[in-house]
Amino acid sequence: MKYILILFLILYTCLISGQTTDSTMQKNKNTIKNEEEWKSSLTPEQYEVMRNCGTEPPYTGRYYKHNEKGTYHCAACGAVLFSSDTKYDSGSGWPSFYKAIDQKAIIKLPDDRYGMHRIEIKCAACGSHLGHVFPDGPQPTGLRYCVNSVSLRFTGGQKQAGDD
């Protein structure tokens, strides 16, 4: 019983600190990197946000007012994350989506930094910080995935109705 409690505490500590286990992350040799490799493969801003859980200033990100049809991928590893079909303007200043393409592509972790309780979202393939998810989004999910633009890479190219 004592060993089960110790194992539970170790797993809980990993979750709280924002780390993931190999069983949680999808296996991909391109995403297993040390910090020096991440620094060399990401821009300084991407590294700060995606590896240090930073955030970009609101209303400044490349994809905040982006309205093309396509798919949003993790900027660090290329994993498919969100569709433009679920993107909406939440007024928050960051790209917002009400649903991930595949719920297994996103890891959700408690984040109690800065004196508030939030749910952090990370890429399941590489463990990179994407942003947070909040329960104040539109239906059908009621969720708002609030994502840093620097954490995303877009593929597509067809303009949606109403674009300038």
The two tokens of residue 88 are 């909406």
pLDDT score, position 46: 97
Q: How far apart are CA 64 and CA 57, in angstroms?
A: 11
Q: Is the pLDDT of residue 79 over 50?
A: yes
Query: Cα-flanking dihedrals φ and ψ of residue 75, to 5°?
Result: -70, -20
Q: Please give the model's pTM, rounded to 2 decimal places.
A: 0.77
Q: How far apart are CA 108 and CA 26, in angstroms?
A: 14
Query: Contact, 151 vs 46, CB < 8 A?
Result: yes
The gap from C-alpha 24 to its chain's centroid, in whole angstroms, comes to 15
Domain ranges in the chain are 2-159
H-type alpha helices, the chain = 2-16, 35-41, 44-52
Where in the chain does DSSP place strands (E)?
A: 68-74, 80-83, 87-88, 96-97, 106-111, 118-123, 129-134, 144-147, 152-159
Q: Is the pLDDT of residue 28 over 50?
A: no
Q: What is the pLDDT of residues 37-74, one digit of tens each?
A: 999 999 999 999 999 999 999 999 999 999 999 999 99
Q: How far apart are CA 79 and CA 77, in angstroms?
A: 6
Query: Contact, 18 vs 116, CB < 8 A?
Result: no
pLDDT score, position 157: 66
Q: Is the pLDDT of residue 29 over 60?
A: no
Q: What is the pLDDT of residues 113-144, one digit of tens each?
A: 888 899 999 999 999 999 999 999 999 999 99
Q: How confident is the model at residue 32 (pLDDT cuts 50, 70, 90)?
A: confident
Q: What is the pLDDT of residues 82-100, one digit of tens each?
A: 999 999 999 999 999 999 9
* Catalytic position from the list 77, 123, 126, 146: 146
53 is catalytic: no
Q: Is the pLDDT of residue 11 over 60?
A: no
pLDDT score, position 163: 45
Q: Which CATH architecture has domain 2-159?
A: Beta Complex (2.170)
| Residue at 108: amino acid letter | K
